Amino acid sequence: MERTFLMVKPDGVQRGLIGEIVSRFEKKGFKLIAAKLMTVSRELAEAHYAEHREKPFFEELVGFITSGPVFAMIWEGENVISVARQMMGKTNPADAAPGTIRGDYGISVGMNIIHGSDSPESAEREIKLWFREQDQISYEKTIDRWIY
């Protein structure tokens, strides 16, 4: 079963959207494997966004993600990486469809509420970066047989 790394960014936490976002993924049928409210060190922020190191907005990005608590999560389910990306909507909330998280709650690309891994490779890398093995909980849900 596939796993992905999702994070409510500091703007989403400040705006009280943790519950709403968790609820969307729960109702969809995905399974929560790990979650924590935390502040992000500069070191972790730079490692997480390493692929954007050369971009002009890199400093802004690192400054933003370290500016307040984030809610980091691992979710599991069939095709969860791509389905979560669809549920998040396009990177720029101006292009994100209504009904998606960014489409419903975001306005600017810098503060777009949520992060989600964009491929199996980045999901694997990000899960390792953000969570220790022993904090990832594998368990059965009886409801699963009504979802799959």
48 is catalytic: no
Stretch that binds ligand IDP, among 11-19, 105-113, 128-136, 139-147 (CB under 6 A): 105-113
Minimal distance, residue 51 CB to ligand IDP, in Å: 7
Q: Which of 28, 44, 110, 124 binds ligand IDP (CB under 6 A)?
A: 110
SS3 10: helix
DSSP 139: -
Nearest of 29, 56, 38 to residue 129 by alpha carbon: 38
Stretch that binds ligand IDP, among 17-25, 33-41, 55-63, 72-80 (CB under 6 A): 55-63
- Cα–Cα distance measured from residue 75 to residue 30, given in angstroms and rounded to the nearest whole number: 6
* Location of structure tokens 């975001």: 106
Q: Which of 18, 32, 61, 129 binds ligand IDP (CB under 6 A)?
A: 61
Q: Which of 66, 67, 82, 91 binds ligand IDP (CB under 6 A)?
A: 91
Angle between helices 80-88 and 18-28 in degrees, nearest 10: 130
Q: Which of 57, 63, 107, 119 binds ligand IDP (CB under 6 A)?
A: 57
Buried b (16+ CB within 10 A) or exposed e, 61-79: bbebbbeebbbbbbbbbee
DSSP 38: E
Residue type present at position 146: W
Minimal distance, residue 136 CB to ligand IDP, in Å: 22
Q: Give yes or no for residue 103 binding ligand IDP (CB under 6 A).
A: no
Q: Give yes or no for residue 144 binding ligand IDP (CB under 6 A).
A: no
Q: Which one of the listed residues 24, 31, 48, 115 is annotated catalytic?
A: 115
DSSP 147: T
Question: Footprint of ligand IDP on this chain (CB under 6 A)?
Answer: 57, 60-61, 91, 109-110, 112, 115, 118
Q: What is the set of active-site residues?
A: 115
